[in-house]
Structure formats: structure tokens, C-alpha cells
Amino acid sequence: MIEPEDLRSHRWYGGGGLRDFSHRARSRQLGLNPEEHLGKPVIAILNTWSDINPCHLHLRERAEQVKRGVWQAGGYPLEFPVATLSETFQKPTPMLYRNLLSMEAEEILRSYPVDGAVLMGGCDKTTPALVMGATSAGLPAVFVPAGPMLRGHWRGETLGSGTDMWKYWDEKRAGTIGDAELSELERGLARSPGHCMTMGTASTMTSAVEAMGLALPGAASIPAVDSAHHRMAAASGMRIVELVWADLKITDVLTEAAYADAVTTVLALGGSTNALIHLVAMAGRGGIPLRLGDFDAAARKVPVLANIRPGGEHLMEDFYYAGGLRGLLSRIPDLLHLDRITVSGKDFGSTLDGALVHDDDVIRPRGNPVAAEGGIAVLRGNLAPDGAVIKHLAAEPRLLRHTGPAVVFEDYGDLRRRIDDPALGITEDTVLVLRGSGPIGGPGMPEYGMLPLPEHLLARGVRDLVRISDARMSGTSYGACVLHVAPESHVGGPLALVRDGDLVTLDVPGRVLRLEVTDEELAARRASWREPPPKYERGYGALYSEHITQADEGCDFDFLARAGTNPEPDPR
Ligand code: FES
């Protein structure tokens, strides 16, 4: 336990100098009496609420409940609005700005009189960004997940955000539904605040963060609009104050064992491929080596137990009623590190005590998994020397061992212009290749990886092809999509050398992605390859392009990922 004089904020308020006098005077300007806040832990609430982010629409109100908890526990809450990363609206992709939010989070925590932080996020990139920044800042922290939205509905069917949008858009292109049905779907897909309620990146990452022990037990599964979500927010506010007094820092919680359990959790959930990039980046901020090979090794022994779309059938609301993440984790205790500390104050194993599963179809027993092995595989070969990723759980099994001729698109614009051109001769055997979509080339590695199929194949009932790119894919997407090919084509990765008609082999059981072209021919093609011009000439985009790392390294900025310490500000 620490004393009030040991609080970091004491250096701003507690002395007899000019600056302390100024800080106290300005606190009175804020309307505070000294006894209300002096000597109390100052809790920064980093809130990614915005009018433009429907996934976080409730976080403005929820911050008030966090504050309630902080005050009740004897702390002093301060809300900081930080960049919202709205997966739907921000272009070219919020991934371009994940590191920017992480920098903002870190520097706010560093530069203000803050003793602990409550991190409020959920929409895809907000979770890793906040955790990355808070890890670099190194203070005590609790994550408050935004929670999933309610199920979608249409004509008696439940709809999953993202997943069913892609599905019915293909049906529209295939001509099986028309504008009237699409208009109804538009009204039924997203019915409440909260992040995507499929096992997309949002549910994957908030669940991973809870499993690591940075959120209160059970927090990530609670629907955004459930009253339990209000109570969880208040309890998180109370808990962060206790963590400050206990001096339990985020880096004490997010250990190597915690990251190993995050990987296991993602796999057991049938989670998003984006988790591979984000967890590598998050771990890197804590100096923890996490590699693609760690995911693949775990994937061979972790069963998929969550039967949630896009890899399964149900939605996050069903998952919550079935027992939520605690229920799922209680089925794989032998695969987890149970004796590590969590922000709840209990060890991880104790947080699972009493967890129950109420629906064996939503959270499958070990004897009846959705898939016996984790649904994600890491591929290597001459087409992806530094690795590529596929969520084979959500792919048609006939394509998991496949050799076919490539049809190559230079970038997403080229793809959109030509994909329906019959002259391309695309068949069920074709391998669609998209380049120019990586961390630098995209830019920002947009979620183009579920390449659309040509209309003539959709009309014939074809719903999947092998698709290869250096892009990412929404966690709500599906199909035989090989993603994150590294190095990316923009920096001369072998994807840049593929030509129409080249044979490409995908062998998921063998973990191989191979271009069936001789080394001599590839060397000749490389000799004539020219690096494309930079996407950005100035500003944040130029900074991003100069410092972003490749997908296998987490797409962090090199200057953020490296080890080192920065001086604490001297408030006096
Ligand atoms: Fe925000 Fe899917 S759009 S989580």
C-alpha cells in the first residue's frame, strides 16, 4: 500500500511551491473544495465516446457511472475525451490511427497529474490502442469494455453486424433479394449502442483483455445496454482507486502468462485474425515477445468452443446468457495460467470460481467443439516469408488444400473496377490476389481481405474462393481469405511479383502458402520491380509511413515499440 504523499499527483498538488499553489488555485476554479480531491488518487477516464461512433454512443453516460464509483471509493475522477476510432466511418481505416490513439493515451497519462486510468473502448482498434498507450505509461489501469450491441432482427431471423451485412450484400449482387429487402435489413442490422455483436475484432479484443485480467471478471460479455453494464462501470471506478493504493500497475497484470492466455482465449472464441496484429503490438509495449508462431502452436491444441458468427451460429447476446467468457474459460482451465494476478484483486483462477455454462450449443463442451483446433492458422512459404494468416474456421473446407491460377489486382480500386469483368475468366478454382493493401501500401492495412466474388459466380451459387492479400479482414468476415501477407507488396514482398496465371498453392493443414514459380523467375521479376511512390508527402500520414512496422511485428511505430524510458514531467 502507498501513502497519499506517494501518489504521483501529489507532485502537482502537495508541495508549498508556486506551481502547487497554482494547481490548487485552478482546482478551485474547477469548482472543487480542497477536501474533495487533495490527497486522493486522481483517476483519468479515457473516453472514446463520440457522436460519430455508434459503438460507443453510451460511453458518455457510462463515464458518469465510472465517476460515481471513483468518488465512492475516495478517488478524484477526471474524464479525458480521446480520439474515437469508429470502424464504420473513419477512412481509409481506423487502423491508420490506432497508434495515434495509443500515443494520445500514453501522453495524457504522462503529462497530467494522474495516478490511475480507466480505459473506455471497444470498437475494434480502440481496445488495443488504449492498452498499448496505458502499458507504455505504466500506471495502474482498468479496462471498461463498451459491450456488444443487441442482436439484429429481420423477418424472424437474427442478424449479426458485419457478418450478415456481407452475406446479404452478396445475395443482393446474386439477385436473390432486392432493394425492398435491403431497406429492411438496413433498419434491422444494428439496433442499439454497443460494438459488433458477432465474434468480430471488438468482441475478440475486449474478451482477450478481460482474460488477461485488465477488466473485471465477466465485463466483456455484458451487452452495452444491460443494467449490469452500468454496475460494471461503477465497480470498475471503485476498483481503480483500490489498485492505485495497492500500487498494482498495468505491467504487473499484463505479463507473459497473461498474453499466453489471451492467445488461448482468442482461439477458443474462434476470434478475429486482427487479434494477431493487436496482441503482438500490445505485448511489445510491455517488452513481451509474442510471435505469430506462438499463435500457430496454440491453435493446434486449443479447441474452438464459442459457437458465434462468423465461425459459428449465435451472437454475443446469446453468449452472455449462456455464461459469457467466464463460462467459456471455465471449460479450459488446464490451458490457462490460473495463478496470475488480475485487477479484480483475485488470481485469475479464482475469478472463474462458480462460473457456469447454461447453453451447451452456444458454449460447447470440450467433447463437442465447434472445431477441434483453433480456427486460425499461420502460413509461410515463398509468397509470405514473414507469415500470413487465415481464419480457416470460416472458410469452405474444399479450399483449404487448393492450387489454382492467380488473377491479380494492383489495388482495391483496380479490384472494384474489374472484378465482374467476364474476360478475367474467374472460376471456382481461381485464386484472387490483391496487393497494395498492406500497412504502407493500403495505407493502414484496410479490411479489404474478404475480396468480393464476381457476380457471375455468385449467381451460380459460389460463395467462396481462395483470396490472398496483404490487407486485413473484418473479424465479422468469412471465407478462404489469406491475410496479412508479410512483407507487404508495397515494400517489395513477393506478393508484388505474382502475375496473372501463376499457380498458387494454399495448404492450410501443411501451413503453406506457395507461389509455383521458380526462384530464378522470381529473381528476374524482382530485378525489374520498382517501389511505388509514397502515399503521403506530409503530416501524420508521412510519419506513419516512415515508422510503421509490418503485420508480423504488430504494425506499431518503431519508436513506440522500442525499449527505453522517458523522463517524468516535473510539475514544479
Ligand atoms: Fe464498431 Fe464493429 S463497427 S465494433
User: In the chain, what percentage of residues exceed pLDDT 90?
Assistant: 93
Phi, psi of 540 (to 5 degrees): -60, -40
Strands (E), 95-167: 116-121, 141-145, 152-154, 157-159
Query: How confident is the model at residue 170, as a pLDDT?
Result: 86
Residue 351 forms part of a structural domain: no
Q: Which atom number of ligand 1 is nearest to the Cα of residue 201?
A: 4
Does any ligand 1 atom lie closer than 6 A to the CB of residue 306?
no
Last residue of a domain, one of 512, 528, 544: 528
Residue 571 forms part of a structural domain: no
> How large is the average pLDDT for residues 417-421?
96
User: What distance in angstroms lies between residue 460's CA and the mean position of ligand 1's atoms?
Assistant: 31
User: What letter represents residue 265's amino acid?
Assistant: T
How far apart CA 476 and CA 412 sit, in angstroms, is: 19
pLDDT at position 468 over 90: yes
3-state helix, strand, coil in the chain (%, to 5): 40, 15, 45
User: In the chain, what percentage of residues exceed pLDDT 70?
Assistant: 100
Question: What's the pTM?
Answer: 0.96
DSSP state letter for 396: -
Number of Cα atoms under 13 Å in the Cβ half of residue 12: 22
**Helix boundaries (H) for 403-556:** 412-418, 455-459, 519-527, 539-547
> How large is the average pLDDT for residues 486-491?
98
Does any ligand 1 atom lie closer than 6 A to the CB of residue 125?
no
Q: What residues contact 550, with CB distance under 8 A and at least 6 apart?
A: 386, 438, 439, 486, 487, 488, 491
Burial 103-134 (b: 16+ CB within 10 A, else e): bbbbebbbebbbbbbbbbbbbbbbbbbbbbbb
Ramachandran quadrant class, 394 (left: phi over 0; alpha: psi -120 to 50; beta: rest): alpha
Residue 158 forms part of a structural domain: no
How far apart CA 568 and CA 100 sit, in angstroms, is: 21
Residue 329 forms part of a structural domain: yes
Asked whether residue 1 falls in the same domain as residue 65, the answer is no
Asked whether residue 20 falls in the same domain as residue 114, the answer is no
User: What distance in angstroms lies between residue 196's CA and the mean position of ligand 1's atoms?
Assistant: 5
User: What distance in angstroms lies between residue 274's CA and the mean position of ligand 1's atoms?
Assistant: 13
Residue 546 forms part of a structural domain: no
Asked whether residue 444 falls in the same domain as residue 460, the answer is yes
Asked whether residue 57 falls in the same domain as residue 119, the answer is yes
Asked whether residue 48 falls in the same domain as residue 63, the answer is yes
Residue 349 forms part of a structural domain: no
Does any ligand 1 atom lie closer than 6 A to the CB of residue 202?
yes
Asked whether residue 58 falls in the same domain as residue 35, the answer is no
Asked whether residue 272 falls in the same domain as residue 400, the answer is no
- Reading the block at residue 407, the C-alpha cell is 488473377
- Strands 466-469 and 481-483 come out as parallel
Domain CATH for 398: 3.50.30.80
Q: Of all protein residues, whose CA lies closest to atom 1 belonging to ligand 1?
A: 123
Q: Assign 507 to helix, strand or coil.
A: strand
Residue 188 forms part of a structural domain: no
Which of 50, 55, 159, 199 maximizes ligand 1 atoms within 8 Å of its Cβ, making it the mutation to test the pocket?
Answer: 55
Burial class (CB in 10 A: 0-12, 13-18, 19+), 418: middle
Query: How confident is the model at residue 42, as a pLDDT?
Result: 98
Per residue in 71-105, pLDDT (tens digit) is 999 999 999 999 999 999 999 999 999 999 999 99
Asked whether residue 31 falls in the same domain as residue 63, the answer is no
Total domains in the chain come to: 3
Ramachandran quadrant class, 356 (left: phi over 0; alpha: psi -120 to 50; beta: rest): beta
Asked whether residue 204 falls in the same domain as residue 74, the answer is yes
Per residue in 2-28, pLDDT (tens digit) is 999 999 999 999 989 999 999 999 999
Asked whether residue 302 falls in the same domain as residue 399, the answer is no
Per residue in 307-336, pLDDT (tens digit) is 999 889 999 999 999 999 999 999 999 999
Q: Assign 389 to helix, strand or coil.
A: strand
Instruction: Write out the residue range of the structural domain in which residue 488 sits.
Output: 377-528
Torsion of CA 23, 29, 31, 34, to 10 degrees: 30
How far apart CA 81 and CA 60 sit, in angstroms, is: 9
Residue with cell 459457437: 307
Domain CATH for 339: 3.40.50.2300
Asked whether residue 212 falls in the same domain as residue 262, the answer is yes
User: What distance in angstroms lies between residue 193's CA and the mean position of ligand 1's atoms?
Assistant: 10
Asked whether residue 305 falls in the same domain as residue 449, the answer is no
Does any ligand 1 atom lie closer than 6 A to the CB of residue 447?
no
Residue 1 forms part of a structural domain: yes
* Band of pLDDT at residue 393, cut at 50, 70 and 90: confident
Contact 520, 505 (CB under 8 A): no
